[in-house]
Amino acid sequence: MRREYNFSRMKGEKNPYAKDLKTQITIRIDTETVSYFKELAESTGMAYQSLINLYLRECVKTGKKPTIKWFQASAKASP
């Protein structure tokens, strides 16, 4: 085994499978929710996007579903 290796002549090749691992999307998230994950990111040392992904992955694995409560509009219509 060599004591030192010279990596300056190596060609950088991207992982051909990396694009299949994650999908880039655009999503609108409440400011309060983003702030929560950013604060959590500071305390854990992870990127907040990674924390959101971990949480969503956990929801998929456990089959967690959101509790949705719809509010009915008032019966009176404005004149």
* Residue range(s) defining the domain that contains residue 56: 18-62
Number of domains in the chain: 1
Q: Are 30 and 37 in contact (CB under 8 A)?
A: no
The CA-based dihedral angle spanning residues 51, 25, 15, 44, taken in that order and rounded to the nearest 10 degrees:
-10
> Hey, what are 1's tokens?
């085994």
**Is residue 78 scored above 60 in pLDDT?**
no
| CATH number, residue 39 | 1.10.1220
- Tell me which amino acid residue 43 is: S
Dump pLDDT digits (tens) for 6-15.
888 878 888 7
Q: Which residue has the higher pLDDT, 79 or 69?
A: 69
The answer, as to whether pTM is greater than 0.75, is no
In a domain, 11, yes or no: no
Which whole-number Å values give the CA distances from 15 to 2, 12, 24, 42, in the listed order?
Answer: 26, 10, 17, 29
